[in-house]
Chains A and B, each alone.
Chain A
Amino acid sequence: MHPDLDQQRSLARRLRELPDEAAQPYGWREFQRRSGARRRAGQGLAGGRALATASVLATASVLATASVLALGIIAVWTRLGGWSPHSARLTPQAAQPPAGRTAAMEHWLASLPSEPAVVHVGTRAAVTGLEDRIAQVDDLLSAERLDEAHPARLLALQQARTRLVGALVQVRYAETLADESR
């Protein structure tokens, strides 16, 4: 017999001869207790969940629409060369997005699971839409930095990014609250 086939059969035999799981599952009574607890939790929160889902979806839709509009305006403005040296009258300190706050928001976002236990398509679409747009702005920022663009243009992009991250934080926060209320 080919040594590979022989080894494969030996491996299969060894796998089948592995001992059963040493730790036994909980008993029938405990299973019934846990099943009852899950059912009660499901029934008690059904109404609240519907309400929370509706509010999350509404919030997500509004924020996503606003973010898309804002980004679109910035993109058109940037593309048409809307920036001029005279338009950058703001002092860098006043116009600079608060870096610490943005970092804190991003840190909080990174600490969340990539998706909640129960995923709602509408909310998820808003989240992925915002994440895509943040990635697009990041690309634009990288390109502008490489081209040594004017600081005011970079600033505008950074502000757009901060707004998008803020919108994402709000959607994810609402999503987290809805998830916890289940």
Chain B
Amino acid sequence: MPGRGWCATFCPARASKHPVTRLVEITVSHAVLARACAGDEQAQGAIYAAVAPATLTLIRRFVGQRAVSEDLFQDTMMSFYQRLPQFRGEAPLGAWLRQIAISRCLMYLRSPWKRLCLSLDLADFRLGAAGTALVTQDYRGESIDLERALAALAPTARAVVWMYEVEGYTHQEIARAFGRSVSFSKSQLARAHLRLRAWFEPQGNRPSCTLI
């Protein structure tokens, strides 16, 4: 059964230089899914191999820290397997898992104490102490710039950028996920865009208001 879903299920772990894998693009064949729902460990392991890297990447984009990401990843995957028999197949499996992962991340980000910890980490990052939080040596130069720029954003702004630009959420969906208004999502995104542009655009090439 050489369908796309089957291939995605059994692809080896993706290398770090591949473009980011969106969870929603990962599909699993009905046969494997049915076996996994029935409790077949081999099928569950196959699904894990397919979805785990993209899930961890997504969570890491939201919270940044490796240890916290692994904790949330474990929670997400446990919840995923507990609820798997209830999966009705109305959306791709990856989209369903993405929903679980994002809700876990947002619950984490909503906690005032966690927000404080993350903002302290962010301060460390700006001072250069954690400048390699999301960066590995084999990344391309441009990726490093963008990774640094993303890591320098506030966690909420980073989550909004990632949900909108990469995961394809609408402003309405982001607002609902955060329990805020649509203008919250729009303003977070606009401010994040400004900061991201300012980070990696050369000073001389910045558009000036007087050019109009």
Contact = CB atoms under 8 A, between A and B. Distances in A.
Interface string B42-61: 00110011001111110010
Contacts of B111: 115
Interface residues of B, number: 49
Contacts of A115: 111-113
A12 B66 contact: no
B98 to A, nearest CB: 15
Interface in B111-135: 111-113, 116
B78 A35 contact: yes
A90 interface: no
A3 B207 contact: yes
Interface string A22-44: 11111010010011001000000
A23 B20 contact: no
Which of the four size classes fits the interface of chain A?
A: 20 to 34
Given A25-B53, A25-B73, A28-B48, A14 B18 contact: no
Interface in B174-205: 193, 196-197
A115 B116 CA distance: 12
Overall SS of chain B's interface? helix
B105 to A, nearest CB: 14
A7 B207 CA distance: 11
Nearest to A23: B66
Interface string B146-166: 110010000000000110011
Contacts of A14: 142, 146
Given A7-B197, A11-B165, A21 B74 contact: no
Interface of B: 13-22, 44-45, 48-49, 52-57, 60, 66, 70, 73-74, 77-78, 81, 111-113, 116, 136, 138-140, 142-143, 146-147, 150, 161-162, 165-166, 193, 196-197, 207
